[in-house]
Structure 1
Amino acid sequence: NAQEAHEAIRPTSAQRTPERVKLHLNRDQFRVYDLIWRRTVASQMLPAIMEAVQVEMGLGNLGRLRATGSTIKFTGFMQVYQESNDDAVAEEGNTLPDLVPGETLTLSELRSIQHFTEPPPRYSEATLVKTLEEYGIGRPSTYATIIETLGQRGYTELLNRRFVPTDVGRVVNRFLTEHFSRYVDYGFTAHMEDELDEISRGEKEWKELLSEFWNPFSKNVADIASNVSRAQAVKARELGIDPNSSRPVTVRLGRFGPFVQIGQREDAEKPKFAGLRSGLRLETITLEEALKLFELPRTLGETPEGEL
């Protein structure tokens, strides 16, 4: 398939070890070359052999403790290359030291931690690429472009190396899911990728595939464009009633970002507008938080002469 058409990034010779070329590279170049060299060499080595282990430790009258993890029986490729653990999977494969049944252990620390089942963590770049691979979406040559586009269009932002959807991203996602559900379905995208692979192998005509996709898609776009207004697409969220004016308070997405509106455009009195402050979200802002945006006077910051 298409993945076979892309040559791997690899050293021209395995003999050119990172240490041998270090003097000719700057810091960033060396780190990239070191990563490529180690992964290339590791890909030609034997698999590592891990053994699942469960350890029970007696604490006398205090009870028993249990630990599960794995021990390394044969390092294999891990001798030269180990992928850095992502936070999402760091706890899955705790490595335990070699132990002997009946061995006496020294207690160095005892901690009691209350644990609650947590929701799945947000995607990092590594876990997002892994998920794209699992769903068959994109190809190795397009993963970087997909991630770059999400940021450039303001659909996501990185927070602690995790992707967080922005208000724009949530609105776009909701709109596409509601009106173009067929095209944002994981199965559709994966199937389209497979058909593109068939074209690359000469097994299918590209004009036929484009016709099958474009004819219904263009009709769908035309129908939505003529029947759905921008206001309907954005779907203002009503927060409640302003106690001072008895007018509705809504939050919506505008051309320059999310904002709160008191009143309606068709009212005799012009509506009031206020942009959302940092930390406020279109999906979660409350009526109380929205009304505070209109409170005056308001301290904006400090100057040498005092508050502004």
Structure 2
Amino acid sequence: MNPFKTVLYAFILLLSQNAIFAQQVEETPINQSELPKFITANSIAYSDIQIEKAYNYDMLTLGDTVLMLKNGTTYPPNHRDYKRLGITTSMYAGTAVIAFGILWAMPESVSNWDKEEIKEKGVFWKWKENVKAGPVWDDDDWVLNYITHPYSGGVYYMTARSSGFTVLESFGYSALMSTFFWEYGIEAFAEVPSTQDLIVTPVLGSVVGEGFFYAKKSILRHDRRVLKSRFLGYTSLLLMDPFNTLLDSFGYKENVKTQMNIAPIGLGPGSNKSVWGLNFNMQF
């Protein structure tokens, strides 16, 4: 078997198994009388009319749409984080040269690139000719067309989804990146844009990406662990959402953060009743 295919199959197997394990890990029960481990002290709290019992509600109970993490941040962001998306998109551009170099180093039987023609006439001439000729139905190996391209589309999708964008917006980002960044961008320097790649990458990629999204939420909910392993947890996050994972590991923070919570601050003078207070803070 081609060594490239062997490595690729192992990579896909690892990715799929980690995602499956992440979904199957037993969920941590939410007890209304105490905060779960992954909820910070800034969770919303209030009492009933008699102020006899306090109920704590974490953000996850509100439609299971936002996950509160230990550092006080949420996943996904509760707004469109254009700054995050801009940084991660720039990271794509930085890795484009590396990706092109890897494909250039692969044998022509895998990449289907005519290296001699590219060397003879130049890459920019080749790019112009390929853009004019495309798109066409390519003859690439099925692994490239129906495994690596959906995976790439899933990574594009997760880049936007993890920045607070909706399903439809993330699909649009995946379509734009796969079309203009890759097919008519980087890859067009070597081959004619592919018809099936233009369709498969964003469409199947968005399906894969939404699966990644829920798997990532599950991993984060369990303190970035898969099967109680931090190594498997971080590996899975890096494979499913590489640029956001790297950005978070570098300590990315938004310019402005706000927090508000209602909580008991003590007992009233001469009584056993709780005194409640409202706390609001903004961090720049």
Query: Shorter chain as normaliser: what TM range?
Result: under 0.3
TM-score, length-normalised on structure 1? Answer: 0.19
Please, what TM-score do these two structures have when normalized by structure 2?
0.20
Query: Which structure is higher in RCO with an 8 Å CA cutoff and minimum separation 6?
Result: 2
Q: Which has the larger radius of gyration?
A: 1
Choose between structure 1 and 2: higher strand proportion: 1
Q: Which has the higher helix share?
A: 2
